[in-house]
Amino acid sequence: MGTELGNYKLCISARSTDKEILKKAQDGGIVTQIFKYALEEGIIDGAIVSGPSDEPWRPRPFVATTVEELMKSRGTRYNISPNVSFIKEATRSYGLDRIGIVGTPCQMQAVRKGQLYPVGLRDVPDKIALAIGIFCMENFPYQSIKQLVEDHAAMKLESVKKMEIGKGKFWVYGERGQVVQLPLKVTHKYEQPGCHVCLDYVANLADVSTGSVGSPDGWSTVFVRTKKGDDIWSKAIAAGCFETKPIEQVKPGLELVSKLANEKITKNQKTVEERAKFGVNKALRNPYISPK
């Protein structure tokens, strides 16, 4: 395995031991459980998470400072939630000194760039106490999700209970028990274009990153990456927050994560290269080379 999984100190399969969290969590409830633990222990004094808004399945970032608020953020909403937009405000009118933030790999990149190059993020860099990344193959504009659910899956968005991408399919579960699966080739056209130059699948820059891939249903694959992440993770384990299984002993295991990560990076690297000859002697911008 190469660099596609980033640096990590530990990779493990895990699930929260809190039944309440698992009721509505997307996978093993890792994100909500760590934040809950960190909040209760005073490791963070709030977390930027994404919760429901006034339109069905449209996410809205907010700052959760209580477990009650945190519980509202459980589950994945497969469309854009600009979580990083709160990263400065959290230190201002919310007065946080130790911020938790969850986000996709690109959002973790944004957080780290913000810490190293805080152009407009005064006094934020040293206040990031816990950055949790979630795996991500792609994301969608809201309208895409609407069309996928309402046109392709023939369900009203309001009556959807859960959405999921896994086992090569886009799954839509209805409130009344219906299950629709769409092949991923249908979803591709609906993806957000910015995802096509994305070179990170498993949130390489998070303190802890997690996703469903690699672990059995209801469980999550977890990478513990940084000193901070390691510290919090070991304390949470010691406190009995998680059940764990060695990643080597679960199916489909790390190999699948690696495979998907490589596929994503290879495909998108190609897109990045093709952009260099997009026009006639005219390139599209390449953010990995220069801001010009």
Partner 1 sequence: MKDNSVKPEEKPVPVKADVEKKAVVLQKEDKPVADKIKVGHVHMSGCTGCLVSLADNYGGLLTILDKYADLVYGLTLADVRHIPKMDVALVEGSVCIQDKISVDEIKETREKAAVVVAVGGCACYGNITRFARGGQTNQPQHESFLPVGDLIKVDVYIPGCAPTPQLIRNVCVMAYLLLKGNKDQQDLAKKYLTPLMQLAERGTEACGCDLMYDVVNQGLCMGCGSCAAACPVRAITHEYGKPNVNREMCIKCGACYAQCPRSFFNFDVITGFEGILEAIDGALK
Partner 2 sequence: MSKIVEISPTTRHEGHSKLVLKVDDAGIIERGDWLSITPVRGVEKLAIGKTMDQVPKIASRVCGICPIAHTLAGIESMEGSIRCEIPRDAKLLRIVLQCANRLHSIALHNILILPDFYIPGTDTKINPFTPEEPVRSVAKRIQRLREIGQTIGEIAGGEAVHPSNPRVGGLYKACTPHAKAKMYDLAKEGLVLAHEQMEFMLAVLNNMKKRDWTEVGGKQIPLPKTLGYHNQGYMAAHPMYASSNLDDNPGWDPQRWTDVRPWDWYMGEGEVSLADPSYPIGGTSPVGTKVNPQMEACTGVPLYDGAPVEVGPRARLVKFKNFDEKGTWGQHIARQLEYTDNLYTIINALDEYNPSGKVLADPIPQGDGSMGWAANEAPRGTDVHLAKVKDGRVLYYEMLVPTTWNFPTCSRALTGAPWQVAEMVVRAYDPCVSCATHMIVIDEDKRIVAQKLIQ
Ligand X SMILES: Cc1cc2nc3c(=O)[nH]c(=O)nc-3n(C[C@H](O)[C@H](O)[C@H](O)COP(=O)(O)OP(=O)(O)OC[C@H]3O[C@@H](n4cnc5c(N)ncnc54)[C@H](O)[C@@H]3O)c2cc1C
Q: Which residue stretch of 3-11, 24-32, 65-73, 98-106 sits at the interface with ligand SF4 (rule: CB under 6 A)?
A: 98-106
Q: Which amino acid is at 138?
A: E
Question: Of ligand X, partner 2, ligand SF4, none, which one sits near residue 198, judging by CB under 5 to 8 A according to partner kind?
Answer: ligand SF4
Q: Contact with partner 2 (CB under 8 A): which of 12, 48, 80, 96?
A: 96
Q: Which residues from 113-132 bind partner 1, rule CB under 8 A?
A: 113-123, 125-126
Is 177 or 291 the residue whose CB approaches partner 1 more closely?
A: 291
Q: Which residue stretch of 74-82, 92-100, 111-119, 185-193 sits at the interface with partner 2 (rule: CB under 8 A)?
A: 92-100
Q: Contact with partner 2 (CB under 8 A): which of 94, 142, 171, 173?
A: 94
Sheet holding 128-134, edge to edge: 59-64, 46-52, 99-103, 128-134, 208-211, 220-224, 10-16, 242-246
Q: Which residues from 173-232 bind ligand X, rule CB under 6 A?
A: 210-213, 220
Q: Where are the alpha helices (DSSP H) in the chain?
A: 19-24, 30-40, 67-71, 105-116, 142-147, 184-188, 227-238, 254-275
How many of the chain's residues bind partner 2 (CB under 8 A)?
A: 13
Q: Which residues pair with 166 in a beta bridge?
A: 169
Question: Of ligand SF4, partner 2, partner 1, none, which one sits near residue 94, judging by CB under 5 to 8 A according to partner kind?
Answer: partner 2
Q: Where are the alpha helices (DSSP H) in 79-141?
A: 105-116
Q: Using only C-alpha atoms, what is the Rg of the chain?
A: 19
- Tell me how crowded residue 179 is: count the other CB atoms within 10 A of its CB: 11
Q: Which residues from 31-90 bind ligand X, rule CB under 6 A?
A: 31-32, 49-50, 59, 73-79, 81, 83
How far is it, in rounded angstroms, from Cα 37 to Cα 73? 15
Regarding beta strands 99-103 and 128-134, do their DSSP bridges make them parallel or antiparallel, or are they unpaired? parallel
β strands within the chain, DSSP E: 10-16, 46-52, 59-64, 99-103, 128-134, 160-166, 169-174, 179-183, 208-211, 220-224, 242-246
CB of 66 to ligand X, least distance (A): 14
Q: Which residues from 107-136 bind partner 2, rule CB under 8 A?
A: 122-123
Name the residues that contact partner 2, by CB under 8 A: 45-46, 65, 89, 91-97, 122-123
Binding site for ligand SF4 (CB under 6 A): 82, 104-106, 120, 136, 138-139, 194-195, 198
